[in-house]
Amino acid sequence: MEKVDGTKLLLEVKSFPTYTNNRLQDIINQIKTYVEISKNYKGVFVFPGKLSENSNKLLKDQDIEIWDIDFIIQNFSKQIENSSFKLLKKIFGFHNNIDELPKKR
pLDDT tens digits, 9-43: 999 999 888 899 999 999 999 999 999 999 889 99
- Which pTM was predicted? 0.81
pLDDT digits (tens, 9 = 90+) for 63-72: 999 999 999 9
The predicted structure's pLDDT at residue 71:
94
CB atoms within 10 A of CB 34: 14
Q: How far apart are CA 90 and CA 9, in angstroms?
A: 26
- From 80, 56, 77, 82, select the one nearest 68 (Cα to Cα): 56
Phi-psi sector, 61: left (phi>0), alpha (psi -120 to 50), beta:
alpha
| DSSP H or E run through 28 | helix 21-38
